[in-house]
Amino acid sequence: MSLRYGILGLLNYGSMTGYDISKYFRESVGYFWNAQQSQIYRELTALEKDGLVEYELVIQSDKPNKKLYRINEVGRENLNGWLYDFNIDDFFITRNALLLKLFFSSQIPVNRTIEMLSKYKERCEAAARELALHTGDLSDYQNLVEDDSESLYWKMTAARGLADYQASARWAGECINILRKRGEQDD
Amino acid sequence: MSLRYGILGLLNYGSMTGYDISKYFRESVGYFWNAQQSQIYRELTALEKDGLVEYELVIQSDKPNKKLYRINEVGRENLNGWLYDFNIDDFFITRNALLLKLFFSSQIPVNRTIEMLSKYKERCEAAARELALHTGDLSDYQNLVEDDSESLYWKMTAARGLADYQASARWAGECINILRKRGEQDD
DNA sequence: GGTCCCATGTAACAAGTTACATGATTCC
DNA sequence: GGAATCATGTAACTTGTTACATGGGACC
């Protein structure tokens, strides 16, 4: 159900095409929610059938025609309901493919796991640098409190992404150290 | 595909029933991979059809009969292949329902969001305490290097879980502080 | 000439969720 | 008497993934 509300949430900022939504998902929500383009078109069709959004067909000559979707009153109420209600358990449903692999990695050579963790660490550091450009940390309270509210919420999520990447990189580094010592021992 | 290998990985430690696998998923892998019981039975059937596992029907008088699954040579090779190959991109596919909700939360009263984050924080702290009982941190290198290798890998994943929960709780606390100040300002 | 951007979608399949169904035994 | 544990599964449905298909315009 989250995808549906992610789309509604974006449409609540302004009218968009499926293409736009797909782009926003990648660019702004991407580090905490992935959505396939085919999934978005499918969900838009469903949203329209359920009467939460409407669209206007925009004829273009230089570019392909497009459907400009906008949220309606019913959709807005639905979105608010979803924002208001929460079930804490939902927030703890996780799937971490790296941890699953690592959990069973005693079966393969240590060096291979070190290689995997090193690449993971690099990517985390790169992602952290990237995110840090767009957000600071949350310690500059004064500034944050005076921010307009949309960007405040945006910064909170970005700060979480940043903290995640940093913690991941640190953790990966520790694992690499341990595995290296283990490797030496085995020599 | 990860579920398939998660099951193979568990079976590689020893023969089990679908019921056992389901339990292990909840108890030991649960904080980084969720699996429904119905999903496990379905995948076991597929694994058997694909010739990666075999089972023995165990007749019991006091309890229901059971199928004791064991991994075979083909399954072991498959598992090793999966452990050995990795695609870093796969490790960055995330879905965080809390962040998605928070991202759009400028639409609802600040107090409601504070309430949500507070409950989230409590649960993170409880989960961290729980995990900390079973693992230390990774700084006790000497001990870790001398550990048997299965528990070493297990501890690395647990350490990551712990770091995650702690970072999450800290972050939630910062968000709550900011939102409280914002609330005062609005009075 | 090749790639990226814009913009739509469909089809087939894989994976995840929810609910139902059965039934004995053990523990409180 | 009621809940939990053991143990299997099916059915229906929703989500997520991968690949295919189309085609003009912009930019290098």
- pLDDT the model gives residue A187: 59
Note whether B90 contacts A102, CB cutoff 8 Å: no
| Cβ B1 to strand C below 7 Å | yes
| Residue of B29, B94, B168 lying closest to A100 (CB–CB) | B29
Q: Tell me the pTM.
A: 0.93
Instruction: Calculate the CA dihedral of residues B12, B18, B22, B23 and round it to 10 degrees.
Output: -80
Is residue A153 within 8 Å of B105, Cβ to Cβ?
Answer: yes
- Backbone dihedral region for residue B14 (phi beyond 0: left; psi -120 to 50: alpha; all else: beta): left
| Mean residue pLDDT across chain A | 92
Question: Alpha helix (H) ranges present in chain B?
Answer: 2-13, 18-24, 37-49, 73-84, 97-103, 110-134, 141-146, 149-186
Structure confidence by residue, pLDDT tens digits, A18-59 = 999 999 999 889 999 999 999 999 999 999 999 999 999 998
Percent of chain A with pLDDT over 90: 80
CA B14 to chain centre: 20
Cα(B67)–Cα(B71) distance, rounded to whole angstroms? 13
* pLDDT band, very low/low/confident/very high, at B138 (cuts 50, 70, 90): low
Note whether A138 contacts B29, CB cutoff 8 Å: no
Structure confidence by residue, pLDDT tens digits, A120-158 = 999 999 999 988 887 766 666 666 666 677 789 999 999
- Of the candidates A5, A24, A27, the one whose C-alpha atom is nearest the C-alpha of residue A16 is A24
Looking at strand C, which nucleotides approach a protein CB closer than 7 A?
6-12, 14-20, 23-26
Q: Which residues in window 60-99 of B are less than 7 A from strand C by Cβ?
A: 62-64
Q: How many residue pairs from chains A and B have C-beta atoms closer than 8 A?
A: 202
What are the chain A neighbours of B1 within 8 Å (beta carbons)? none
